[in-house]
Amino acid sequence: MNMWHRIIALVIKEFLALLRDPRERLLIIVPPIVQLVVFSYAASFDLNHVKLAVYDRDGGQAAHALIARFTGSRHFQLVASVTDPASAERLIDAKRALLVLEIGPEFSSHLLSGRTATVQVLIDGRNSNTALIALNYARRIVQDFNRDWLHDNTDAKLPLRLETRAWFNPNLESRWFIVPGIVGLLMMVVVMMVTALSVAREREQGTFDQLLVTPMRPVEILIGKAIPGMLIGLLEATLIVIIAVAWFHVPLRGHLITLYTGIFLFLLSASGVGLMISSLATTLQQALLGAFLFLVPGVILSGFATPIANMPAAVQYITLIDPLRYFMVVLRGVFLEGASFAQLWSQFWPMTLIGIGCLAGAGWLFRHRTT
């Protein structure tokens, strides 16, 4: 019994120490509740507004009936009606449409004569998970159309056959979608942990104040703290890219200069966030909690597994401060599309802004935060 009394006393002591600090009480209670609410909306594999374009070369009543089934579904949103193949391809390339429904010129005549008509679906395969879900929705609509047509025309054969063409990922291999994203995930974890613990470790050991009284300026300390994490991240990124191409056979269609520009800017932004967390923390425990509280939302809100466009509008605004969101676009754009520097500029400048802003904030906190 004496042993259990001592253990219970120690447990009570640990709880008192943990709950004494108001900041630690907030870290334990508030973030899990906030993350639960945000993730419940953000992490969804349901698609409710798939951007649909229609290329109707038939114009008959049967074609209009099929299109009405797509546009009347809660899963699809008609964004354009095109009149030539080039326009359909541009919509897919610019991500203005996820799926293009092409109805051939003899669609109605084939159906009315009892022959099987063919409908082609052109789909964006860059996000294989989303593409497969959207294709399942399209197949379900086609099955319903076939069932109703056979009910009304008992002597007809299979009315409608669906053909699919996937751009950028012809076989819709999930590995082509996942492996480039893993490059960003691993880089973020390593760089964030290295930089987030650097300043907090010195504060806990009492050596950071000694560093501040040296002739080194805050910007010099900032650069010295950021470079190790960035170099480690650069080496790790190179190794993972080599493995992705040589071992997993993921195509690398873009230029290495474009890829490494994105890698450098992402490392800059991730190091900035890590140093900001480290400058706010006074202990290693707080730095670890801070890094964890950023990493988990950063991954969920990056579009790694679920599309950002399918998240609620308020959550989509939150993703704008997540550097991994932009890096995912860069990685998949360079690997699968062969995207150029100019095409990815809209992803480069936000990472630059996040990196410079966080590094500036961390530098200010180095000098002005004393507790």
**How far lies 6's CA from each of 9, 17, 135, 167, in Å?**
5, 16, 62, 66
Question: Which own/partner contact pairs does 15-21 have at CB distance under 8 Å and 24+ positions apart?
Answer: none
**Which pLDDT band, with edges at 50, 70 and 90, does 303 fall under?**
confident
pLDDT digits (tens, 9 = 90+) for 259-302: 999 999 999 999 999 988 888 887 787 888 888 888 888 888 88
Tokens of 345: 């500029």
308-350 pLDDT, tens digit per residue, is 877 888 888 989 999 999 999 999 999 988 889 999 999 999 9
Is pLDDT above 90 for 257?
Answer: yes
Q: What is the largest CA-CA distance in the chain?
A: 91
Mark out the alpha helices in 115-207 (DSSP H runs): 128-152, 174-205
Indicate the pTM of the whole model: 0.76
Q: Phi-psi region for residue 339, left (φ > 0), alpha (ψ -120 to 50) or beta?
A: beta
